[in-house]
Amino acid sequence: MTSNLIYKICTAAEWAAAEKAGRFTGSPVD
């Protein structure tokens, strides 16, 4: 079975911005 999930630990602010934008484009530490 192949999985297409990627896990990312981010700050609450990064997550809120991603939810608002509808996607996560990365963070400065990536």
Q: Per-residue pLDDT tens for 1-30?
A: 688 888 889 999 999 999 999 999 888 888
Which pLDDT score, from 0 to 100, does residue 9 have? 93
Q: Global pTM? A: 0.62
Which pLDDT score, from 0 to 100, does residue 28 have? 84
CA 19 to chain centre: 9
Alpha helices in 1-30 (DSSP H): 12-21
Which pLDDT score, from 0 to 100, does residue 26 have? 87
Residues 28 and 20: their CA atoms lie apart, in Å, by 18
Which pLDDT score, from 0 to 100, does residue 1 have? 65
Which pLDDT score, from 0 to 100, does residue 18 have? 94
- The two tokens of residue 20 are 């608002």
Which pLDDT score, from 0 to 100, does residue 10 have? 92
CA 16 to chain centre: 10
Residues 2 and 11: their CA atoms lie apart, in Å, by 28
